[in-house]
Every structure is written in structure tokens, then in C-alpha cells.
Amino acid sequence: MTEQPAIQDQIPGNHCFGCGPGNELGLRIKSYWQGDDKTTCTFVPHPHHSAGPVHYLNGGIIATVIDCHTICTAIADGYRQAGREVGSGDKIWYATGKLDVSYLAPAVIDKPVIVEATIVERSERKTLLHCELTSDGRLCATADVVAVRVPDAW
């Protein structure tokens, strides 16, 4: 059985801080399909990703991981809906139209966080997603995201 490539590694020209594989200083998250409408990502925080209390993950990093994971899910789904492999043919891009994060509990810095995104609704121009981030077995954040399809020139 061959392992599927990460969604981010298939998106051409992705230099994003959170998910761009070519951004050496970025987070370089990796997302994978877990069915038709669900993706997962495991992010391993580093000590410099801390909040004020150094044993917790910074909220901005949490939001970035959620944002990038869901937008990459929307991009990959856009290619799926077009019947194409990610990165093939004309580029398909989505951008964040809305990111509504609810922080429920602190995420510990010394354990990986698991991020799961589910596509709730899709149309030609928008994809709505729900996302959950867990840390050490505890739900720490949820988010509702609107991903908006944008032209390649954006």
C-alpha cells in the first residue's frame, strides 16, 4: 500500500507560512484525506510556538494551523470536484472568507495536536468547513471556516 502524498505537497506555488512546503521558516503542516469529506493533520509544536505560559501553544498558531488545514482541504476538494489531481491543469485556489475560532481549552506545547476538518457544504464559489483541534486527548478549539474560490491571479 502506498502512502498518499500530503495535500500541501501537491499545491503548486504554495509559499504560505502555515502550509507552504517551500517556506523554510513556516509551520509546514501536512494534511491528508480520511474519506470523501474529511481531512486530518498532525502538527508537532516547538517550544518557540508557545503562548505567554510556555507550556501552552499560542492561540495565533492554533488559528493558523486551522486556517491552513481547512483552506488546503477546500483546494484539494476543488480539484476533486473538477475530476483532477491536485496541482494538475489550471490552478485552483481558495482563500479564507471567514475564520471563526472558539478556544475551549489550552493546547499543551509538548504533544502533537490533531486537526480534523469536515466539509459541511460546497458550492461553485464557497466551501464551508467545520474543524476541531485536539491536544493530549482533549478538544481545545473548534472553528467554522468559509473558504472562497479565488482566481489564479489573486
Q: Can you spell out the DSSP letters for 46-87?
A: -GGGB-SSTTBB-HHHHHHHHHHHHHHHHHHHHHHHTT--TT
- Global pTM reads 0.96
> Are 21 and 28 spatial neighbours (Cβ–Cβ below 8 Å)?
yes
Sheet holding 113-122, edge to edge: 31-33, 38-43, 113-122, 126-135, 138-150, 93-103
Q: Binning pLDDT at 50, 70 and 90, where does residue 154 land?
A: confident
Q: Is the pLDDT of residue 2 over 60?
A: no
Please report the pLDDT score of residue 135 as a whole number: 98
Specify the residue for cell string 508537532: 44
Please report the pLDDT score of residue 13 as a whole number: 86
- Using a pLDDT cut of 70, give the percent of the chain over it: 99
Please report the pLDDT score of residue 153 as a whole number: 77
Please report the pLDDT score of residue 103 as a whole number: 98
- Using a pLDDT cut of 90, give the percent of the chain over it: 93
Q: Is the pLDDT of residue 51 over 80?
A: yes
Asked if CATH classification 3.30.70.100 holds for the domain at 7-150, the reply, yes or no, is no
Q: Is the pLDDT of residue 1 over 50?
A: no
Please report the pLDDT score of residue 111 as a whole number: 97
Mean pLDDT over all residues of the chain? 95
Residue range 67-106, pLDDT digits in tens: 999 999 999 999 999 999 999 999 999 999 999 999 999 9
Q: Is the pLDDT of residue 6 over 90?
A: yes
